[in-house]
Structure 1
Amino acid sequence: MALSFDKALGIHQHTLGIRAKRAEVLSSNIANADTPNYKAQDVDFSQALKQASSKQRGVGLGATHQNHFSIQSQLQAQSQYRIPNQPDTGDGNTVDMQQEQAAYMENALEYQMSLGFLESKFMGLKKAIRGE
């Protein structure tokens, strides 16, 4: 009997990748807080999760031979520009450091939570394999 990791791990494998992408985007915002005309971005988690969990992820590659594997491109979470909460300070930068730091911390906690869920899934799989 074949083991399907997609079924065994559930949605947690997708959330980890999305949270990692969001951490990159948020850290880029923080790094560019003083860059003139920089526009803050964010990743829409619910939209990216729908894209990741659907069967139509990425672009399918055509096989030219019957023995070729079916390969799909990895999820590319799309970052979107954030609507600023503060008025323009004159330099065109839309980064609000307090908002970015809070979002980054929240994302880091949720990333750790996703890691914990995956760890518990793997522990359950190990127990099942061992017959415990």
Structure 2
Amino acid sequence: MNIYGSTISLLERGLDFSSAKGKVISQNIANVDTPNYKAKHVSFKQMMHEAQSRPINAYRTNELHFDFSSKVSKAGIAKYADFNYRQDGNGVDMDKEQADLAANQIYYNALVDRLNGKFNSLQNVIKGGR
């Protein structure tokens, strides 16, 4: 029996996405002066597709049950290959990266607040409403 429901696991996946996006944005900002560096981005659609294609560990009690094995791939990080923002071939737009970083931070904080609310509710139930 799962006492958490699926909400906590969905919030965890959202935090994973936000963390990956934050790392990519930080790499882009750190390489703003690197010649020929191509900016990277994290695709939510690609991460969801890859999460659905990950294998599920399941014990098959009958050969007629579904086989859950499938291929595992890396995170949904892609490069803007043909985009040059500056003369030196660098593809990082600092204004866009800073705006994305701020939006990602707001998204991350909202997920953390929601997760804290879930844990506070569980704690309240465990204490018996006291």
State the TM-score, normalized to the length of structure 1: 0.72
Give me the whole-angstrom Cα distance separating, in 2, the residues matched to 1:126 and 1:50: 34
Provide, for residues 74-124 of structure 1, a one-character-per-residue CA deviation record: whole Å limited to 9, x for no partner: 994221113777x64321111000000100111011111110010011111
Aligned length: 117
1:8–1:39 distance in 2 versus 1, CA, 3 Å: closer
- Structure 2 stretches lacking a partner, 5+ long: 58-71
**Shift of residue 24, structure 1, vs aligned partner:** 0.4
- Structure 1 stretches lacking a partner, 5+ long: 62-73
Q: Equivalent residue for 1:111? A: 108
CA contact under 8 A between 2:17 and 2:44: conserved in structure 1? Answer: yes
**Shift of residue 50, structure 1, vs aligned partner:** 5.0
SS of residue in 1 equivalent to 2:78: strand
1:84–1:105 distance in 2 versus 1, CA, 3 Å: farther
Are residues 1:124 and 2:105 paired?
A: no
Q: Equivalent residue for 1:81? A: 79
1:113–1:4 distance in 2 versus 1, CA, 3 Å: same
Give me the whole-angstrom Cα distance separating, in 2, the residues matched to 1:131 and 1:49: 37
Q: Equivalent residue for 1:71? A: none
State the TM-score, normalized to the length of structure 2: 0.73
Kindly, what percent of the aligned residue pairs are identical?
32
Q: Equivalent residue for 2:88? A: 91
Q: Equivalent residue for 1:18? A: 17
Q: Equivalent residue for 1:31? A: 30
* Superposition CA RMSD, Å: 2.9
CA contact under 8 A between 1:9 and 1:121: conserved in structure 2? Answer: yes
Give me the whole-angstrom Cα distance separating, in 2, the residues matched to 1:109 and 1:84: 30
CA contact under 8 A between 1:33 and 1:97: conserved in structure 2? Answer: yes
Instruction: Output the amino acid matched with 1:77.
Output: A
SS of residue in 1 equivalent to 2:108: helix
Give me the whole-angstrom Cα distance separating, in 1, the residues matched to 2:41 and 2:31: 14
1:76–1:115 distance in 2 versus 1, CA, 3 Å: farther
